[in-house]
Amino acid sequence: MISKEMEKALNGQINKETYSAYLYFAMAAYFESENFDGMAAFMKAQAGEELEHAMKIYNYVNEQGGRVVLEALEKPQADYKGALEIFEMSLKHEKFITASINKLVDQAIKENDHATRAFLNWFVTEQVEEEATMDAIVAKLKLIGEAGHAILMLDAQLGKRGE
């Protein structure tokens, strides 16, 4: 059984994870409009992963006798300056999600909610990977700058994630 406070906090995280998917779908749509199909595929795969995260929490809340209550999603940005801006925004967003997960862990510790703490450990580890992935892409984009051929090579490489 989870507390009402934990239930509310986990419902908030479901919203954040679902918004993450919505954000990455918006980024994918931008990339598609710019003919960067690889980066679009990467972002679609990222969106799918975020929906899986939301469903993990959704299922956990139900398994713990809580009630899932869905809230409205904020409209994501639609236009961007380019790939570097998008991946920098993605890294910033992943850091925001990491901070949110950490707050949930802190709450679980405060409540002596060992089951939720154990459940959230997967997300803590996942966020290390999420941030590292986005950080590596940002570093590559900064390195290659405006070199068109290098951007196309990165686009092709990122597209392999969506396969």
Rg of the chain on CA atoms, in Å: 17
Per-residue model confidence as pLDDT tens digits over 77-96: 999 999 999 999 999 999 99
Averaged pLDDT for residues 6-13: 98
Task: Quote the CA–CA distance of 49 and 122 in Å, as a whole number.
Answer: 14
pLDDT band at 148 (very low <50, low <70, confident <90, very high): confident
Distance, CA of 112 to CA of 47 (rounded, Å): 32
**How many structural domains compose the chain?**
1
Its pTM stands at 0.95
Q: How many Cα atoms occupy the beta-carbon half-sphere of 77 within 13 Å? A: 11
Domain residue limits at 99: 4-162
For residue 141 the two structure tokens come to 């984009």
Q: Packing angle between helix 37-63 and helix 4-33, nearest 10 degrees?
A: 170
Q: What percent of the chain has pLDDT over 90?
A: 95
Whether residue 163 is predicted with pLDDT greater than 70 in this model: the reply is: no
CATH code of the domain containing 94: 1.20.1260.10
Per residue in 107-144, pLDDT tens? 999 999 999 999 999 999 999 999 999 999 999 999 99
Q: What is the pLDDT of residue 162?
A: 59
115 token code pair: 């089951």
28-84 pLDDT per residue, tens: 999 999 999 999 999 999 999 999 999 999 999 999 999 999 999 999 999 999 999
